[in-house]
Every structure is written in structure tokens, then in C-alpha cells.
Amino acid sequence: MSYVKDLYRDEIRDGWLVMSDIKKVWNRQLEIWAEVDRICRKHNITYWADYGTLLGAARHKGFIPWDDDIDLCMMRPDFNRFMSVLKDELAGSAFEIKENFLSLVQICHSLTTKIDDTYFDGRPQGISLAIFALDSVNDGTPEGFAAYNALREIFIAIYDFSQIERHLQNGGYLFNDLDFLKTVAEIPDTDEAIKFFWIYAEQLFGQSTAIASFEDMLTSIGKPFGKNCFDETIYLPFETIKLPVPKNYDEVLTSEYGDWRTPVNDGKQHLGLVHSADIPWREFLDCVDIQKLLSKK
């Protein structure tokens, strides 16, 4: 199914040249979105456009001219329900899970190729769509402060328990029981540790009026915004479809980008080292010397 008008035509969009090649990538992105939307409708899961996709919907009625991906978000409880059915729902389709983190899953189109700086063997290498979980973060209240820091301790226990030991040695205190954190640190399987984080994050959800992508908050990339921004959903045009967005999307975008109405090209190479909307990534890797390709980055 074709989603993008004039799929094979170059276009001047808001003063930027959009080549037909990136439009083919956009179309593949919309194919992944259609599958995500199907799953969410089937299981009554709420999601919204986020980051550059929300910005594109609000400002361009479609993709940002120099962008090539789709970002969505869900509240943590919905994200966990989505993840619980995702593998079965994708079985036998052209879509697969590229990778999942504590607050993020990427869904890959297996009939495409996209190789970038994060390449490593064993992970699908196609064009992918990202879905972020929104977790409770510090809203300035004692409850919000405790919820965020308790979740942060779980993160540290999973990835570097020595930080907790140093924290205590320096006179710090914990929001979780130390023996409990030691048990978390001893979970041998990374996937199981991630699932534990999901469950713990859902238990804390609702203890703060502020939400954000937890991993973005850790790296100071993200900024929190009020959960009430998402109390009501509206739909904005996006290429040839309509995407759900929070009614108060202006507040979300202002928190994330400041003056979001003025286009600013971030200068990033979004399409990676190599991409193809037509060649399946497994076929590509069978035919190309990947090490030679990576040596040129």
C-alpha cells in the first residue's frame, strides 16, 4: 500500500529539497506505523506522535523535510501491554523487533536496509520506527522525587551496581532496600532485567504529575512535561494519514524544542551509512563486505 503522495517525485517542502529517495523511506516508515496502529487498535492501546514526528505533524503536516523516521510514545502501562503482545503480533510479518531498551523499542522493516554507526551482528538492520515509554519523573513533590530516584536506582543496579556502593560510601542514602537492589543486580539475563525494570516502572507510574522518557532524562536530553498534556487526544494530518497527538501538543513541543515553530536543520545524517527502501537487510549483508563499509564511516 502506498501512503506518500508523489512517491517518486522530488519536492520543495518549506524551502528544503526533498528527494524521491527519502520519500521511499518515508513510505516504509508509514508501513511500519500501519502495523503498530493495527496492534494498538486491536489491544486498545493509546499512543501519540512524539519528538520529530510530533514536530513534523504540527509544523509540516508530515515528515520534517530532512528527517526520515517516525517516533511514537506511550504511557508506561500501555507500553508494557504493547510489549507483551508485540512478538506474537509480528510473527510471520515483514516486521521484527530491532532492539528494546528500558524505555524504548524499535520495530524494523525486514524488507529494507539501514546500516548506521550502531551496527553490530545479530540485530536487524532495516529502516525502523521508535516507540518510547513515558515514565514518572521528578515533579518537585516528595512523591515524584522518590519515584524517579527509586527507578534510577534500579537502572544503576542493572548496569553498574558499584555506583550504588560508592554512593553509600560517600554518605548517600537509598530509596530502595539495599538487599533488594543486590537481588536486581544479580539478574543474569539482560532481557529479564529489562522486563523487571518495566514492571517496577509501572508500579511507580502515577506517583508524579510529570512524565518523560526515563533514559532521556538520565542523559539530560529530555525534559519533563505534565501528564495532563495527554488528557485529551486529537488527530493532525501527517502525509496522507492522521496521527494521534496530545491536544496540548504546543506545551509538549515547547518543553522539548523551545521555539518549535521556526525550522532549524539539526545537521545530523539521519539516513546512516547506507540505506535502501527496496533491498532486505539480510540480502544486503549477504552481498556486501560489511567490515569494508564500516571502515569508511
Identify whether residues 147 and 129 lie together within a single domain: no
Q: Is residue 5 part of a domain?
A: no
Contact 96, 108 (CB under 8 A): yes
Identify whether residues 198 and 60 lie together within a single domain: no
Instruction: Please report, for the domain that includes residue 289, its CATH number.
Output: 3.30.460
Q: Which residue has the higher pLDDT, 271 or 278?
A: 278
Separation CA 296–CA 19 (nearest Å): 24
Domain that includes residue 56, residue range: 11-133+225-295
Which amino acid appears at position 197 of this protein? F
Last residue of one domain, picked from the residues 156, 177, 208: 208
Identify whether residues 122 and 259 lie together within a single domain: yes
Count of structural domains within the chain: 2
Q: Is residue 159 part of a domain?
A: yes
Identify whether residues 159 and 268 lie together within a single domain: no
Q: What is the DSSP string of 121-156?
A: TTS--S-EEEEEEEEEE--SSHHHHHHHHHHHHHHH
Identify whether residues 120 and 61 lie together within a single domain: yes
For 113-170, write each residue's pLDDT tens digit.
998 766 666 789 999 999 999 999 999 999 999 999 999 999 999 999 999 999 999 9
- Decide: pTM greater than 0.85: yes
Sign of CA dihedral 172, 177, 178, 181: negative
The mean pLDDT of the chain is: 90
Which residues are 49's β-sheet partners?
72
Identify whether residues 145 and 276 lie together within a single domain: no
Q: Is residue 6 part of a domain?
A: no
Identify whether residues 126 and 196 lie together within a single domain: no
Separation CA 22–CA 27 (nearest Å): 9
